[in-house]
Chains A and B, each alone.
Chain A
Amino acid sequence: MDPTTTEILVLGAGPGGYTAAFYAADKGKKVTLVEQNPRLGGVCMNVGCIPSKALLHATAILREGKESSHRGIDFGPARVEVEKLRNWKESIVEKLGQGIKSLAQHRQVEVVHGRGHFEDSRTLRVETTAGQKFIRYEKAIIAAGSKPAMPHAFDLGNKRVMTSTEALDLPDVPQDLLIVGGGYIGMELGTVYAALGSNVVVLEALPSILTGVDADLVRPVSRVAQKAFKEIRLNTKVLKMATAGKQIKVTTEVNKQQRDELYDRVLVSVGRVPNLADLGLENTKVTKDDKGFIQCNAQLQTEDPNIYAVGDATGGTLLAHRAFRQGKIAVETILGDASAFENVVIPAVVFTDPEVAWCGLTETEAEQKSIEVQVAKFPWGASGRALTFDRPDGLTKLVIEPETERILGVGIVGVGAGELIGEGVLAVEMGATVRDLADSVHPHPTLSETLMEAAESFYGTATHTLSRRSS
């Protein structure tokens, strides 16, 4: 069969892939986008960011309703229709998927559905429903993404042992739900299921949930989760899982003591692995690192001169907005522009209750790298707006280069932290100083004032706290 030809082939239609494909098409290239799933959008849109946020929003009202009674507004017990909730979530995903599809059509990006397999450095074979198709390209961008890791020992072939993908499909509301792994996925989905009524137990092997995040930003999340969840068990390992009738028997170990428990469902959220098996990378010069992710340079070039890679497949922090940027940089490099994924501030948001968000340098990282910094903090207990939300459990902090007073990083925990961090990103990217932030008037009463007041506290002049210059 004669191969079809294209200028740029993009493998995977998630955030990194569709961004690269659309951008290349906008720049006048002939683009072919290969996606194995019927719906475009990748993990983020189908089984990641979007559905999880839809469920978090929908269930937030259950939490807030309960909290409301002491303020004199009582809704009585809520009634949850799981199927309706699932359909609503599904409608959002479907709408966005259609949106991507139509954006591709308007740009004349050819979309091919099927599994891709590299035959050599210039040819991809696609297994479509209509048989094999060979595509010969000038440059390829691998945006194959990642999937939840499922350790072999937990893979019982039992539907009750879920990854985030199945959990987001909301099969039911289990009475007893065990979440293995207290990272952001486990904590976010735990928040959803706890609100829906499950008794959620989170097991974490390390001494803290949300490992890697600054301890003072994690604390408010821990406090809320400890109340909303049945239990958060740290320093705990799962030794074994076994099917026990309609339940799962889980053997855990804490302080060398073993314990057997029964759960209706188990969510395994212990990390993610790249989707690189069976891609035929061995037929190219593409190389992988010791964790199995594709190795590439700041221009997103792999060891194969014709192949680039973006997004989760390249490792690092697995975030959609990182893939968006990388997709553009890969295309710019192909077009010959001086472009590099260097010195880019990638913010992170954990959509727990309350949310945690940070960007740039964190205190933890500064400590690890022995970078001398000063930290200015503003506790939300002193924010009028936070009190009107009945949520004083927040903190805004700035990580500062002492000599220049340049803002190197921003960390926020509290309701709506995800929406607030954008200003932090701008400050860090612009090389703003603490003075810049302190002297920018912020609207009152809003949570955004906490950024300004944190800056003022650096100078010991925050209006609403008796702050000292903290370090």
Chain B
Amino acid sequence: MDVKLPQLAEGVESGTVVSILVAEGQEVKKDQPFMELETQKAVGSIPAPSAGVVTKVHVKQGMEVSVGQVLISIDAAPAASTGGATAPPRASKPAAQPATAQPQPSSSATTTSAGATDYRYESKSGVAPPAPPSIRKIAADLGIDLTRVKGSEAGGRINLGDLRDYVQRLQQIALQRAPGAEQPSGQAHQTPASSESVDFSKWGPVHREKMSPLRRTVSRRMVESWTTIPKINQFADADISNLLALRKKNAPGYEKQGVHLTLTAFLLVVLGRTLKKHPRANSSLDESTMEIVYKNYCHIGVAVDTEGGLIVPILRDVDRKNLAQLSQELHAITERTRQRKISIEELQGGTFTISNQGSIGGSHFTPIIYAPQVAILGVGQGQPKPVAIDGKIGVRTILPLCLAYDHRVLDGADAVRFLKDVISGLENFSEADLQLK
């Protein structure tokens, strides 16, 4: 039977093969993971729908595969060895096992270069995309889903040139991804060639640990962001003395309602308002069309430190929620993230990110933007500092801030204005906003 890629999650139509865990001729058990797949949001394993012998592996590491594409073929093992394991060979209906998703830190709704491959053929008549049988045969041989290929001819008909263009785009994407995706076994081709030949054991004992898929994805995404986005870091300080006093005053009332007031919750309130005023900081760049995509929603990602690594869950519609709601949601989603109970959907669709190191004790730092977002706010720990107030030295609690932004979309002046509004929002936080209903 042919095992096809099942629908993994709502809206997740494709993924990249991170690693293949089986070889041709190998026997697999039912539900045994045979492949690791990275989708837009997560790395997960795909379980075998039935027991048998892998007769053919149709995909390769680094290959982009879409829902319905044949991944491997399994021949149900001879009756003697499988016993009761019946293999339903209905390739058209593979057991729709959702990939066990390991969340990973990217709030990006699409991968950077995916603009070119986002196209999906849609027909009101429900028919397959128009393409001559010769082209359909080539596509089938190459494992290409023609609904993703944009036809250039009358009526959207796909010709060989369209297919070639599509394959070339896929190759480009694969090349861009190659640093992480093609060497998932950790045999580190992602670092320059020189480092791979270094024998560290010459200078003392070492041990090696394979990077987890989550770690590999973090690594790849960071390289991608670092190398593709021309970014600027804008530093600033906010005086949060008044804000802390307000929090202290109102915290008991909130605690009675079971709500713990954190600085991040205050930041969310302020950012929700500021992003509405500065929609460009809430936008994305569509490189395929050279358009700036403004979003009429404000979903802010909050970086959470977990045992497995960094994960960024998203709080929805931050601009439409009050402090109490945001505090509660933040607490709940952070807990679920730490327990790794978060779903892929909850990691998708972010428009801006906060990375708050304050609870651990950081100062100014330069965060990396989560493409395709265009800005991220890095927040350190508020510390008492001597400051000049009306010509006199006073001690105030100063919060270190750093806005990292994509200079293709935002200019320095935009960033300064944005930060000024954030600072003003924090320094002049109104007590009225703290009223519990």
Binding site for B on A (CB under 8 A): 121, 285, 295, 297-299, 301-305, 336-340, 342-343, 361, 366, 369, 371-373, 401, 403-406, 408, 429-433, 435-436
Contacts and interface: CB of A to CB of B under 8 A. Distances in A.
B416 to A, nearest CB: 48
B130 A431 contact: yes
B81 interface: no
Given A305-B87, A431-B132, A401 B140 contact: no
Interface in B40-63: 52, 55-56, 58
A404 B76 contact: no
B1 interface: yes
B182 interface: no
B150 to A, nearest CB: 13
Given A403-B124, A406-B130, A431-B132, A305 B92 contact: no
Given A401-B124, A401-B125, A404-B156, A303 B130 contact: no
A301 B91 CA distance: 8
B126 A303 contact: no
B126 A435 contact: no
B125 A436 contact: no
Interface string B336-357: 0000000000000000000000
Contacts of B88: 303
Contact of A301 (B58, B89, B123, B136): B89
Given A373-B125, A435-B154, A404 B92 contact: no
29 contacts: A297-B91, A297-B92, A297-B93, A299-B2, A299-B91, A301-B90, A302-B89, A303-B89, A303-B90, A304-B89, A305-B87, A305-B89, A336-B55, A336-B56, A337-B141, A338-B141, A371-B125, A401-B123, A401-B125, A401-B127, A401-B155, A404-B155, A405-B155, A406-B127, A406-B155, A430-B130, A431-B130, A431-B132, A431-B151
Nearest to A372: B124
A366 to B, nearest CB: 8
B140 A340 contact: yes
Contacts of B156: 404, 406, 431
Nearest to B134: A430
Contact of B136 (A336, A337, A343): A343
A371 B86 contact: no
B133 interface: yes
B75 interface: yes
A29 to B, nearest CB: 16
B127 A285 contact: no
Contacts of B86: 285
Nearest to B73: A336
B358 interface: no
A341 B132 CA distance: 15
Given A303-B89, A305-B87, A371-B126, A338 B70 contact: yes
Contacts of B125: 361, 366, 371-373, 401, 408
Contacts of A373: 125
Contacts of A298: 91-92
A63 B157 CA distance: 45
B75 A431 contact: no
Interface string B1-25: 1100000000000000000000000
B131 interface: yes
Contacts of A433: 154-155, 157
Contact of A338 (B123, B140, B157): B140
Contacts of A301: 1, 89-91
Contact of B89 (A297, A401, A435): A297
Interface in B222-237: none
B128 interface: yes
Contacts of A429: 132-133
A423 to B, nearest CB: 15
A423 B123 CA distance: 23
Chain B, interface size category, equals: 35 or more
B53 to A, nearest CB: 10
B367 interface: no
B143 interface: yes
B92 A338 contact: no
Nearest to A333: B2
Contacts of B75: 305
Interface string B74-100: 011001000000111111110000000
Contact of A297 (B52, B90, B130, B154): B90
Nearest to B159: A431
A405 B125 CA distance: 12
B127 A408 contact: yes
Contacts of A408: 125, 127
A339 B76 CA distance: 20
Contacts of B129: 431
Given A297-B93, A303-B90, 16 more contacts: A297-B91, A301-B91, A302-B89, A305-B1, A305-B87, A336-B55, A337-B141, A338-B141, A371-B125, A371-B126, A372-B124, A401-B123, A401-B125, A404-B123, A404-B155, A433-B157
A432 B90 CA distance: 33
Interface string B139-155: 01101000000010011
A403 B90 CA distance: 35
Contacts of B90: 295, 297, 301, 303
Q: Which 7 A-B pairs have the closest CB atoms?
A: A431-B130, A404-B155, A406-B155, A433-B155, A431-B157, A343-B128, A338-B140
A371 B124 contact: yes
Contacts of A430: 130, 132-133, 157
Contacts of B130: 404, 406, 430-431
A371 to B, nearest CB: 5
A79 to B, nearest CB: 49
A397 B105 CA distance: 56
Contacts of A295: 90
Contacts of B123: 401, 404
A163 B158 CA distance: 47
Contacts of A337: 141
A433 to B, nearest CB: 4
Nearest to A430: B132
B71 to A, nearest CB: 12
Given A369-B126, A371-B125, A431-B132, A338 B143 contact: yes
Interface centre among A342, A343, A405 (most CB of B within 10 A): A343
Contacts of B87: 305
A120 to B, nearest CB: 9
Contacts of A285: 86
A403 B129 CA distance: 13
A403 B124 CA distance: 9
Nearest to B133: A429
A124 B412 CA distance: 79
Contacts of A299: 2, 91
Contacts of B55: 336
Contacts of A404: 123, 130, 154-156
A342 B92 CA distance: 11
B89 A405 contact: no
A432 B159 CA distance: 12
A361 to B, nearest CB: 7
Nearest to B70: A338
Contacts of A340: 140
A335 to B, nearest CB: 11
Nearest to A295: B90
Given A336-B56, A372-B125, A373-B125, A431 B155 contact: yes
A457 to B, nearest CB: 18
A361 B128 CA distance: 12
Contacts of A369: 126
Nearest to A399: B125
B363 to A, nearest CB: 57
A298 to B, nearest CB: 6
A339 B133 CA distance: 12
A343 B52 CA distance: 30
B302 to A, nearest CB: 43
A364 to B, nearest CB: 14
Nearest to A337: B141
